[in-house]
Amino acid sequence: MSWLSNSATKKGGFTLGLNTRAHSPEPEINLIPFIDVLLVVLIFLMISTTFTHYQELAISLPTANGSDNASESKQIHVAVSSDGRFAINGRVTERSQLATILNQDSPNKDVQVSIDADARAPHQAVMSALEAARDANLSNIVFSTQTKK
């Protein structure tokens, strides 16, 4: 145990052979990896911002001269009441007669069918009016609405 006694007598304590006089070096912040990461982020941002430009199509829209010709097209009004009854242009009809009356009222297929359904009308009644228009080969169908007061 001579090694134990020699180191204990020199310093007055137990050191296990470590040099206590040499100080450990101060920790350093290495900036080179930090700068490398910042440059990569900067390059990524520069590249990604070049892709945010929106491509636009240069189109020229056609112009029209003239007045509204909405009055020229013929309309058929199909009314659906809250209890599921139907009326075509003010004439009360049955569900089974809807398609035949629509065929009679529209010899040419340029007719616009306007469905005026009550807010409390059954969904099935509105679908029946749509089916009758389909059976009459009428494809120009609109729904009438009203604004809240």
Backbone angles phi, psi at 76, to 5 degrees: -115, 125
pLDDT at 10: 52
pLDDT at 73: 66
Question: Topology of domain 75-143, per CATH?
Answer: Nucleotidyltransferase; domain 5 (3.30.420)
Q: Encoding tokens for residue 17?
A: 């052979």
pLDDT at 35: 93
Closest CA to 113 of 149, 66, 68, 76: 76
Q: pTM of the predicted model, to two decimals?
A: 0.50
Write out residues in the chain with pLDDT < 50, as ranges.
8
> What residue segments make up the domains of the chain, in order of their start?
75-143
Burial of 11 (0-12, 13-18, 19+ CB in 10 A): exposed
pLDDT at 84: 85
pLDDT at 52: 56
